[in-house]
Structure 1
């Protein structure tokens, strides 16, 4: 293996001397404020400046909102890693983009040149994240990510009127101008994350699949599993409305309020077990008082309750993928069951750039429509309330909100 590359990317952007923009700023626990900050300008030769038209809030943003990552946050960080817009300016090394191009901004910032990028494992990039704390936690640095704390590089995010996009030829995906904005925003993070979950689990034709979680990512995993040829998909959640959405897409819903041991229930229906199990709900899905107590004492960070259920429900020799939010350590992990059942367990952040143009082509060809996840639309100016509603499960329609900037609204009227 080649020598590990040292991070070389500039994470902060150069500021325009006079022009300012509106942006969603982290100001503390459960506090996201719309503020005015200097507009970014070209900072490195491979940059693009994108005039944002639409963005959204990700479930993983709630870690920062709720205070889970306060130790690695900086007041005033611009939030967001799911957006689309129009290229306004490009640096001298940008070859594939021009001002006026409509683009999807991918969340993962990768160099395209290191050992991992050459393997198309872009979220493992060596060069774009200078966080020494992450290296101490995990033994390695991972890639940079927009708007997601100092441990992912501290890059200003794209819940804003403008975004500086490093290595824009790789980080931006050109998109047709006649496709609905919600379809494209859905391609920024959720759809490639969902595809990645299917890839990790190796979902294929005829597979019986179980997905824990019916949020935007979980539902997308389920739909894409069907698209990849899965014969049956079980959808596990405790939210009746989201389970109804899953059922409307042809999934088999399992409400954990009615079946508190979903693994045993699945095995009563599928004695063979699941061919592929995917965890897409993360540590927040547990209601365990034991976990709450251990977390309060600082002896456990994440709960493995759902992971244990997925492993139990998966057949011998099957595959399990972790795509939900997990950051820290867990107790009571079923290592014996994993080993003795010969299960392959994989996890990891999305290799976003790897899955284009495939995913965009699915949308252009009408084979997949990711806009279903946006059950509400609002203005960026209302981002503070949008975070509050999302965190408290009050987003109209129960899934995600698509936020438009003033520029985006003007574009829609044109």
Structure 2
């Protein structure tokens, strides 16, 4: 089969690798029809986790497809089912899974390195380094999905695939951020980052009744999108002391602040310099601004995939202002029945985040475009495998639709 393989810093190639097989009774083999590149995948692409990667590792954590085969212990799926593949691999039985904190699963990540770094092992994640279990990802024509009853969500066949692809990770991560920050009706919130996840946080915050939402970014195209969606855009690049600036336009500060820009986001030269020479692997630059801009007793959520250590963390202001700071990978299994129902009912449409599409075989070029902010439309690409193209043609033929542009339709 064809798969996107990590070959080193800024090197991704399409290679031919063996098709996966059932190796555990709880596995499913899924034939991938559509996949995309996650912002977190850029950490691997840019070399931030090279010490946790091996040449040839299969990438990818956002994909949908059809079940081809299931192991004998899989109860909720059968061959032919259309599924959303969740990136978090959970056992369903440990204490954390029983509390629905699936990304904290005790069982599915064998990484001793993570245990050494953190004191504990977190859950495994598809296609996201040996630190997260070394599981092959789903930027491929087939994927072995462990614990398929928990890692796959059965989806209707008659829904635009882009809506389902947006539900694999982006929407669940955005909802998780709002849960961590305890966003409520009437809140004033700030979201650092106007990429797919950050904009999803902002749009879902409106759904939850937030009174005012600031969208912060440096990218002019993404700031325009935030404004078009009804947010108040703030150009971080034009305001070096962004914490002070937020306080100047929002007296009293933010009720809730959400970091969705990632550990590579820096604003001040010292942090950029420390990252460049290896003194700092994760930057506290954005977090420091967030802590300053958040009101006393407010809430902060960190979802930008911080992994290691940082300098100059403002622990004093955090403690003295009585802030609640929470972070962590999403708990998609907890949120998914609710979020998928919103899509089925027409109350939520995540397809907006896919601003263009292409064939899966061109994925290496799209990694480069994503990393350099050259994505057409500014957000995400929907990549269609040969199976997805075949499915689309068959559906169009069955419904008598003549398609000249190759674009998606709701079937």
Structure-1-length-normalised TM-score: 0.94
| SS in structure 1 at match of 2:245 | helix
- Are positions 1:27 and 2:11 aligned together? no
Shift of 1:366: 1.4
8 Å CA contact retained: 1:380, 1:403:
yes
- Are positions 1:257 and 2:249 aligned together? no
Deviations 1:293-338 (A, max 9, x none): 3234433211111111111111110000001121111111111111
1:391-406 equivalences in 2 (<5 Å): 391-406=371-386
Equivalent of 2:117, from 129, 137, 141? 137
Q: Distance in 2 between matches of 1:303 and 1:133?
A: 21
1:256-335 equivalences in 2 (<5 Å): 256-335=236-315
Q: Distance in 1 between matches of 2:275 and 2:375?
A: 28
**Aligned position for 1:73:** 53
| SS in structure 2 at match of 1:193 | helix
Q: Distance in 1 between matches of 2:119 and 2:277?
A: 25
Post-superposition, which runs of at least 4 consecutive aligned residues in structure 1 deviate over 6 A? none
Equivalent of 2:364, from 370, 381, 384? 384
Equivalent of 2:192, from 212, 232, 239? 212
Shift of 1:202: 0.2
Deviations 1:87-127 (A, max 9, x none): 01111001100111000000000100001100100001011
8 Å CA contact retained: 2:271, 2:285:
no
8 Å CA contact retained: 1:54, 1:404:
yes
Q: Distance in 2 between matches of 1:270 and 1:296?
A: 34
8 Å CA contact retained: 1:236, 1:262:
no
Gaps of 5+ in 1: 1-20
Q: Distance in 2 between matches of 1:410 and 1:260?
A: 50
**Aligned position for 2:86:** 106
Q: Distance in 1 between matches of 2:138 and 2:329?
A: 19
Question: RMSD in angstroms over aligned alpha carbons?
Answer: 0.9
Q: Distance in 2 between matches of 1:245 and 1:407?
A: 32
**Aligned position for 1:361:** 341
Q: Distance in 1 between matches of 2:221 and 2:44?
A: 26
Shift of 1:362: 1.1
Structure-2-length-normalised TM-score: 0.94
Comparing 287-296 with 273-282, greater Cα deviation is found at 287-296
Equivalent of 1:197, from 174, 177, 188? 177
8 Å CA contact retained: 1:129, 1:152:
yes
Gaps of 5+ in 2: 395-411
Q: Distance in 2 between matches of 1:287 and 1:221?
A: 22
Shift of 1:67: 1.1
| SS in structure 2 at match of 1:54 | strand
8 Å CA contact retained: 1:283, 1:302:
yes
**Aligned position for 1:128:** 108
Shift of 1:68: 1.1
8 Å CA contact retained: 2:27, 2:71:
yes
Q: Distance in 2 between matches of 1:177 and 1:161?
A: 19
| SS in structure 2 at match of 1:134 | helix
| SS in structure 1 at match of 2:270 | helix
Q: Distance in 2 between matches of 1:303 and 1:127?
A: 30
**Aligned position for 1:344:** 324
**Aligned position for 2:397:** none
Q: Distance in 1 between matches of 2:25 and 2:383?
A: 30
**Aligned position for 1:374:** 354
Deviations 1:42-80 (A, max 9, x none): 111011110000000011111111111111101111100
Equivalent of 2:148, from 168, 173, 176? 168
8 Å CA contact retained: 2:267, 2:286:
no
Shift of 1:364: 1.0
**Aligned position for 1:151:** 131
| SS in structure 2 at match of 1:389 | helix
Deviations 1:223-264 (A, max 9, x none): 011111101100011111101101111100011233222222
| SS in structure 1 at match of 2:387 | helix
